[in-house]
């Protein structure tokens, strides 16, 4: 890999990681931490396992992509 590709990759993964952490925080704040269960927000409580599953899938896919980027970083340029 060329130096500019490495720099762009590191910046991109840092930005994606920060946005992923922010979105997980917002999902938990907006949908999971209601103090009162009533008919108006019961759907959010019923969807709680799905939000957890989506968060775990997003984090695991982020780490898989990061591992592939590291493999490409180490192998890149060698023929």
pLDDT band at 8 (very low <50, low <70, confident <90, very high): very high
| Range of weakest confidence among 2-11, 13-22, 27-36 | 27-36
- pTM of the full structure: 0.73
- What confidence tens digit (pLDDT) does each residue in 20-53 have? 999 888 877 776 665 566 677 677 677 778 888 8
* pLDDT surpasses 80 at 3: yes
73 φ/ψ angles, rounded to the nearest 5 degrees: -60, -45
d(CA 66, CA 16): 10
Query: Nearest 5°: CA angle at 38, between 40 and 20?
Result: 65
pLDDT band at 78 (very low <50, low <70, confident <90, very high): low
């Amino acid at each position: 890999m060329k130096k500019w590709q490495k720099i762009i990759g590191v910046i991109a993964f840092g930005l994606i990681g920060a946005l992923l952490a922010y979105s997980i925080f917002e999902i938990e704040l907006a949908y999971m931490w209601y103090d009162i269960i009533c008919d108006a927000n019961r759907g959010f409580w019923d969807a709680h396992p799905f939000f957890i599953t989506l968060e775990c899938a997003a984090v695991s896919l982020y780490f898989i992509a990061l591992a592939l980027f590291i493999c490409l970083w180490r192998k890149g340029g060698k023929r």
